[in-house]
Structure 1
Amino acid sequence: MTEHFDSKAYFESIYTRPVMLETKNLSQIFNHGDGERLVLNKIDLTIHKREFICVIGPSGCGKSTLSRVVAGLDDFHSGEVLVEGQKIKGPSSERGMVFQGYTLFPWKTVKENVMFGPIMKGISRTRAEEMAREWINIIGLDKYENQFPHELSGGMKQRVAIARALVNEPKILLMDEPFGALDPYTRQKMQKHLMDLWQNIDLTIMFVTHDMDEAILLADRIVALKANPGEVKEVIEVNLPRPRSFDLIHSTEFKQLRDRVNQLVHSQEEELDPSLEDLPKIPRMTQVSTQK
């Protein structure tokens, strides 16, 4: 399946590109009761221009915290976050963000939601409407531009959220489990649509997910975090050809990567939650039986 894919040359090409995003010795501490909790510990990460990075790890490892810090939504305790060598100073349109929840303005139509960013940047309403329509066409929702969010399906809402982020022409798109609430069919369609967008747009993506198959399918590299505190455990090069199809999931190479990622992500679960080792036997609480 991968005999015609030169993964060494592919990654050498990526590593010769300019560095788009870099974290150096990045640490984050949260107040926890009367004390403090170290959430991220000395995260060193380099992401190159047009690279697709997936961040994965067990619950509580700081995946979402990392994306919020990079987005400039949360302050951090120490270290540096650099975009094209410049320290970030809070949120910026150069870093678009898409969350798992549908963060659209419910009182605005699809078109008005997508127009919002350009208007806030001082672009005229006429030009903002042109930009919005262009992206609404790209995401395939031109027939729904005057609909309100409550009239859309979950997949449609996330397409609008992606368009609202991309209309600002960001250098980096940060996505925090954006497809986590979708049903499997819609999720697969959205993964394919995102891959198509990324293939055709000058865009660097950092995508947070807990889904191993999603990470392997989408990423150039997978950043596996460990928890307590959150640290980079390993960075995995995904040596699968592009463009990718869902048929890859059944390949030997995909299954080998899944086993490797599974070991990295789930080897800590009992350590993180010792109660998993000895789950209690459930007492009978009904007269209904599964046995005839």
Structure 2
Amino acid sequence: MNGADRVAEARTLLTSLGFDAERSNERSALILLVLLGVTPQAPWSSARNPRLRTVEIMEHIRAQYGVDYKPNTRETVRRRTLHQFAEVMLIEQNPDDPGRPVNSPKWCYQVTDRALAVIRAYGTPDFDNELTEYLADLPGLSQRYAAARELERIPVTTLNGTALTLSPGGQNVLIKQIVEDFGAYFLPGGQVFYLGDADAKWSVWEQGALAGLGVTVDVHGKMPDVIVYMPDRNWLVLMEAASSHGPVDAKRHGELQTLFAGSTAGLVYVSCFPSRAEMRKYLHEIAWETEVWCADDPTHLIHFNGERFLGPYQ
């Protein structure tokens, strides 16, 4: 069997498992195949479930199927396929170390044993029965998974003392540090107008308050991760959690200026990193006239030039 035929089979399998068009496209099929260790010549009964990092998944796709995904598509692989596979327990994230930091290079994925048993029967007379039982069990499996994720949620206390929780995925550990640590040291009296969550984009969204400052948010626009309003200074502090998406570079600076063009409050741009070691990877990209904060040294800021320090520019 050639690679194209195997990919076509994988796409049909994903559709049978209930995935939508994007999670049944060629990219998603290739991701599933390498997570199962199934090559074009290997039968489905030989499927296994090695633990693989995103970069390893892309390398195996290249080596086994001749499809070369560029490094800048890594985020698409994660956000448009792997995250959805994990949500329905087709795969697990970090089964060897569930508490692994989001920015760890060891972050990995593995097909669940329950899903593997079904997939090994694909193409045999037993598959339909196996699939029916699996899909019948899935709501219960998903409920247990959701309950476990709820227990793992990250508690956050906002600047005014409001308690909320964030999902355990993505960069929410850093977002908690931004709100609680950066906020305490540099934004006393501030009001959280927006707080993103890896699972829920609009975890906190004070739409009316932003509108009162002349900001009409385009829901399709790429929001900063945290927005805090400083009423005593009339500042909107726009903070990016740069652990996975990078800092406020020149391009992002321009995007934010456009998104908040109507603001009657001054705009302050802050790139937030988990550590100075992580910041060094992006040092050459950080835009001038912005600020940098590192969670491992929370009482200090790094100022990138300009006549102001932690303030808006006209």
Q: TM-score, normalised by structure 2?
A: 0.22
Relative to total residues, which structure has the larger strand share, 1 or 2?
1
| Higher RCO by CA contacts (8 Å cutoff, separation 6 or greater) | 1
Q: Which has the larger radius of gyration?
A: 2
